[in-house]
Each structure stands twice: as structure tokens, then as C-alpha cells.
A = this chain, B = another copy of it.
Amino acid sequence: MTAPGIPALDLTADVVTLTRALVDLPSESGREDVIADAVDTALRGLPHLSVARVGNSVVARTGLGRAERALIAGHLDTVPAAGNLPSRLADGRVHGLGACDMKGGVAVALRLAATVPAPVRDLTYVFYECEEVEGDRNGLARIGAERPDLLADAGLAVLMEPSDAGVEAGCQGILTADIVVEGTRAHTARAWQGVNAAHKAGEVLRRLDAHRAERVVVDGLEYREGLSAVAVRAGVAGNVVPDACVVTVNCRFAPSRSPEEAEAYVRALFPEYEVRVTEVVAGAPPHLDRVGGLVAALGAEPRPKLGWTDVARFAALGVPALNYGPGDPSLAHTAGEYVPVAHLERCEAGLRAWLS
């Protein structure tokens, strides 16, 4: 029995049907109330789960007294629609907003929650809000802050981020910084009276061009780092020598480096410039020693995750995590995103085998 206004989700439907039903529920970041109500209501109908709600995030836990507890998580929100609704099934793929990132993964997790009532390890399912927006709105971070008890007793976590239905272990950290080059304004008709900050920034960009990012091996996985200018801004007026040029760099660093080490690394490359670090977030080590059993059960060859994902939030809580989800990560946030049916089925079967 569903309350008025709350869409019914049939968690026993096949994974393709369930994926499409989720795609068709509106859930742009910050507007997850409808999908969260639907997931919450469906999970509360399952007697083997106890359900908690934190904002528009839903946590459902078994309480079987198993020796181990694992966590399976996926976010409910999507980026804004791009003419890619409603869902459609074609060519063995579910197409539509969020199909890849990451309602396919959420559908797999919901199917398991409903159809594996007595898993061999206790389970915590987390369906959360606001992954696609600023970190201080992130639903997983909010649960960690308000109800850490719901997360911290897990021995490992599976994040259903699109990973081509394979295992992507750990994730790299991110540092963003502004490199500020200063000069002195002048009229361009008397340019020699000034110091052109844009001209001076040529050395910063040249150094970035010459820089060769490192490849760092952690647990046998090669993390390929990166240091990229993502923005350059200079300009006062068409007849003015600019007195400032700001080069914004985005650094991806291996999980073996701490944020402090990453910051020191970037500063050492530009010792003579002002470097303003605007954001730095740690990565997550692959922890193959602690997630190896799961990797083996899934029959997957682990790859390093080069992007940053919420596995880093689990790592910060002391819970080793890996990425394992259907869909090609390079399709995330594209208007043409889709998830292959074969990925959905492979992920569901892999996790079901590990739980049974």
C-alpha cells in the first residue's frame, strides 16, 4: 500500500524494468523527494530490512547477526535533463537521464535488497541525495555527519558508480589551485611603463605543458596522475596592459599521496608564484588486502579509478570501498547516456553470487 502521491516501485520486477522506472522518476539534485519517498516506501515494505531516513537519503539494513557487514551504495540524483526523458529500451540498452549515472546501479542494489532476504553477510543499503552538486550538500556526507553509526560498522563498501560492470579500485584525489601572476597596469600605447601579467603567465603555462605527470603504483594498480590548466583569465580592457593573470589548475593525485603532499607537490612546481589552493580532497587507497575477497568473487580484474568518487568518503570513515557498477563512465552527464542491459545483468549476478 503506497501513500497518496508516492509512486509505487516494484522491486521484484526485472532489473531493466526497474531501471526504467527509476529513470522516469524526476530526481535532479535537490529535488529527490519523490524518488526518495518511492524508495523509502518500497524498502519499508520488506520485513527483513530496517529503514532510516536522513533528508532525502534512505538507509536500509539487515540485522541477521552475521560475522561481516557490507555496504552497497548509490546516489539517487541526476544532473539536469537534456531532452533525454522518458526512458527507452533499444539495441540492448536502457537510454535516458541517469540510466548510466547511476540509476542502473541503484536498480541492481534495490533488486538485491528485495530478493536476497538472507544474505551470507549483513548488508547496509544506502540510497542518497545530492551527489552531483557541491560536496557540502552530499547526502552520504550528511549521513556520515548526522548518523555515522549507520555507515561505520561496515567492513567494506561497494559504490555502484558506472565502472563498465568491472571493479575500479580506490580513487585519485583532487587539488584545485589558482596560480596568480601579477604585473602592473599601463595603457597599451605606453606598454613599457607596465608589466604584462599575461605575458609573464606564459612561463606558468609552458611549465605545465612540459610537466610529465607521474604514474604511481599502489597495490599493483597504476594511478596515472594529471596536472591541467582548466582556466586562464586575464583582461582589464582592450587598451590596458593587464596587471593580473590567474591560471586555475586541476591536479589529480594518486591515493598514496595525502592532500598535504599534493599541495606541496604543486607549490614546488611554482615556487616563485602565489599559489592559492581553493579545494583539496583526498583520494581513496584501493585496499585490495581488504576488498580482495569481493574482487575475487566478482571475477573481475581490478582497475584503478582515476576520477574522484564517493569511495573517498567511505575511506575517510575507515570503510574500504570500491567502485562496481553498470555503464560506461565516459557517458555520464551526456545527453545520450545509456546503460547496457548486459551490464545490469552482470552486476546483479555478480553481487547476488557474493551475497548467497
Contacts and interface: CB of A to CB of B under 8 A. Distances in A.
A contacts with B: majority SS:
mixed
Interface string A13-30: 000000000000000000
B199 A209 contact: yes
Given A213-B191, A230-B241, A233-B233, A202 B208 contact: yes
A173 to B, nearest CB: 11
Interface stretch (A122-130, A158-166, A246-254): A246-254
A1 interface: no
A212 B226 CA distance: 35
Interface string A162-179: 000000000010001000
Given A198-B205, A235-B248, A230 B240 contact: yes
A319 to B, nearest CB: 23
Interface residues of A, number: 49
A249 to B, nearest CB: 9
A203 interface: yes
Given A200-B209, A208-B196, A190 B230 contact: no
Contacts of A303: none
A115 interface: no
A191 B226 contact: yes
